């Protein structure tokens, strides 16, 4: 992976995390219960923490780059479709949140494979673990609050 490719991927990941911060912040306006709002605030803060980690990786990661190793990473593999702000039912919110977390998980797992046996791989794997926990939390909420009604 070249320095340019690395910069592009990390910058994309930071933008994705900022999108998540903005998304969870906006969803707080749609929360029906105080517990839901607090959970969204917690997710927003976790995503802000991910931005800080990514910025640190951006600084440290350059030491681990192998410019001769092809990356084959395309940011389009991790892009999300846009959603309709006017159609943010509780079910839609949960589905969008699950998909966002799933794509973030995939991005971080793929990035970890680019830096085998390094501190950077460990950091990306930790981020992936957090993202899949977020997805599972939303999936549990979906099961409890959407599927129970169907």
pLDDT, tens only, 78-108:
545 555 566 677 788 888 888 889 989 998 9
> Residues 84-93: contacts with CB within 8 Å, 24+ apart?
88/27, 88/30, 90/30, 90/32, 90/145, 90/146, 91/142, 91/146, 93/27, 93/30
Lowest mean pLDDT among 83-87, 130-134, 136-140, 144-148: 83-87
- Identify the structural domains of the chain with CATH numbers, from first to last: 3-149 (1.20.1260.10)
Task: State the Cα–Cα distance between residues 57 and 34, nearest whole angstrom.
Answer: 35
Q: Cβ–Cβ contacts within 10 Å for residue 73, how many?
A: 19
């Amino acid at each position: 992976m070249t320095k340019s490719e690395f910069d592009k991927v990390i910058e994309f990941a930071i933008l994705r995390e900022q999108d998540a911060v903005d998304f969870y912040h906006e969803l707080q306006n749609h929360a029906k219960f105080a517990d839901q709002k607090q959970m969204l605030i917690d997710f927003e803060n976790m995503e802000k923490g991910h931005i800080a980690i990514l910025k640190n990786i951006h600084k440290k990661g350059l030491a681990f780059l192998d410019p001769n190793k092809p990356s084959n990473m395309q940011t389009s593999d991790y892009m999300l479709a846009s959603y309709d702000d006017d159609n943010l039912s509780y079910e839609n919110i949960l589905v969008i949140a699950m998909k966002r977390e799933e794509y973030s998980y995939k991005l971080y797992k793929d990035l970890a494979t680019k830096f085998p046996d390094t501190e950077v791989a460990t950091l990306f794997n930790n981020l992936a673990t957090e993202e899949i926990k977020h997805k599972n939390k939303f999936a549990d909420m979906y099961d409890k609050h959407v599927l129970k009604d169907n």
